[in-house]
Amino acid sequence: MFITRRVEFSASHICAQPQFSQAENRALYGAAANPNGHGHNYVLEVTLSGEPHPITGMVFDLKNLKRILNEAVVDPMDHRFLNREVRPFDRVVPTAENIAVEIWNRLVPYFKDGSGDGSDNGSARLSNVRLYETEDLYVDYTGPSQ
Q: Which of 101, 95, 115, 38 has the alpha carbon at shortest distance from 73?
A: 101
Tell whether the torsion through CA atoms of 53, 59, 65 and 68 is positive or negative.
Answer: positive
Minimum Å gap between C-beta 38 and Zn ion is 6
**Residue 41: CB partners within 8 Å, gap ≥ 6?**
8, 9, 10
Q: Would you count residue 100 as binding Zn ion (CB under 5 A)?
A: no
Q: Is residue 117 within 8 Å of residue 108, measured between CB atoms?
A: no
Q: Specify the residue, 73 or 124, whose C-beta has the smaller distance to Zn ion.
A: 73
Q: Specify the residue, 61 or 85, whose C-beta has the smaller distance to Zn ion.
A: 85
Q: What is the C-alpha separation between 111 and 121, in angstroms, rounded?
A: 6
Q: Would you count residue 14 as binding Zn ion (CB under 5 A)?
A: no
- The three-point CA angle 111-112-116 to 5° equals 60
**Residues 18-57: x/- map of binding to Zn ion (CB under 5 A)?**
--------------x-------------------------
Q: Specify the residue, 32 or 129, whose C-beta has the smaller distance to Zn ion.
A: 32
Q: Which amino acid belongs to residue 97?
A: E
Please give the size of the binding site for Zn ion, defined by CB under 5 A: 1
Q: Specify the residue, 32 or 44, whose C-beta has the smaller distance to Zn ion.
A: 32
Minimum Å gap between C-beta 115 and Zn ion is 31
Chain residues binding Zn ion by CB under 5 A are 32
